Amino acid sequence: MLIEIGIDEFISKKPEFNLLIDARSPKEFAESHIAQSQNFYALNDAQHQEVGTLYKQISRNDAKALGAQYICQNVALHIQEIYKNYKIGSKIGIYCAKGGLRSSSIALILSNIGYQVYRLIGGYKSYRFFAISYLENLPHKNFIVLGGNTGCGKSELLQDLPNAIDLEKMANHLGSTFGSIKGEQPNQKEFQNRLVEIFSTTDVNAYIFIEGESVRMGKVMLPSKLHDAMKESFRVEITAPLSQRVERILKDYYAITPDFFYSSMETITPYIKKSSKEEAIIAYEKGDLASVAEILLVDYYDVVYKKPKRVDRVIENDEHTQTIEVLKALHVSFKSCAYDSASD
């Protein structure tokens, strides 16, 4: 069975798919893709480039013939893995760049074997239009925003809270000069896709715990609709003893390389006292990372932290479990108020 469906139906059926196939090249897939998809490519990177060049510069028919040869070779290998892991009759969603030859070729073969195949009309391009539109008109407006100085434990709290979205984890960035310590970030397209995936599967009316962030997180940007909604939401300022804050960020600082450290210190030069910068560098070269962390927290992070004009509640996070219970109780009270308002 092979059915071609539009983006709205494709999104609604996505949870039913036993397998979601991205038929584009590995390079295209690595750049960005629909969440949960697996890359069973019709053409690998070199083949995709070769066929594309042939199509544009010499002959469309020659390009199609060559592409068909490569697709048959690749699908022969992919079928072994698909058949091994997904029984005949499984539901498979599939897409390529624009809903063309790559996805249709694989879809036809899989459907003839006996799989239920749903091919996305317009391919990944149509999904990107959907994603951008979704974020520009984000329906979620109920947020409980956690703010606070670096190291106060907001990320850890989000891991243990219901209805929580961890933007820093999705962006793979800590939202500061040293934020890229986690490694390579997703590009803007992939970050948007991750946002769409989690928001589209979260109740529109639910109250969502989220960390207060700037519009820019490293090299990615938050959607303006989301950022505006966060600014208008209930704000909880999290505080914590300095000793605990130092302990928390040390977990990340142990992974700092000398190049990363010195480069970051140069970046923050305009925002930190010369004496504090020199003191931090001396401590780093002695291997005293705890002192480095404390200096940076007190003389840099706390100095540049922009506390919001409105804070609705302050919670001291000196005991994680207790803080979680306080925040959960707050969440319950918001849900109750929302239910009462809906009942009136």
Q: Among all residues, which ones are annotated catalytic?
A: 96
First to last CA, the chain: 49
Spatial CB neighbours of 306, under 8 Å, sequence gap ≥ 6: none
C-alpha–C-alpha distance, residues 200 and 285, integer Å: 47
Burial pattern 147-173, b for ≥16 Cβ within 10 A else e, equals bbbbbbbbbebbeebebbbbbbebbbb
User: Whole-angstrom Cα distance, residue 294 to residue 301?
Assistant: 10
For the chain, give the number of residues. Answer: 344
CA nearest to 119, candidates 107, 102, 101: 107
**Quick one: CA dihedral 292, 183, 212, 241, positive or negative?**
negative
CA distances from 49 to 66, 122, 280 (A): 12, 21, 49
- Give me 47's structure tokens: 């083949």
Task: Say how far apart CA 66 and CA 73 lie, in whole Å.
Answer: 11
Query: What is the per-residue burial (b if ≥16 Cβ within 10 Å, else e) of 234-264?
Result: ebbbbebeeeebbebbeeebeebeeeebeeb
> In 117-140, which positions are buried (b, 16+ CB within 10 angstroms) versus exposed (e)?
bbbbebbbebbbebbeebbeebeb
> For residues 296 and 71, what is the distance between their CA atoms, to the nearest angstrom?
55
Q: 123-136 vs 188-200: helix axis angle to the nearest 10?
A: 70
What's the DSSP call for residue 316?
Answer: E
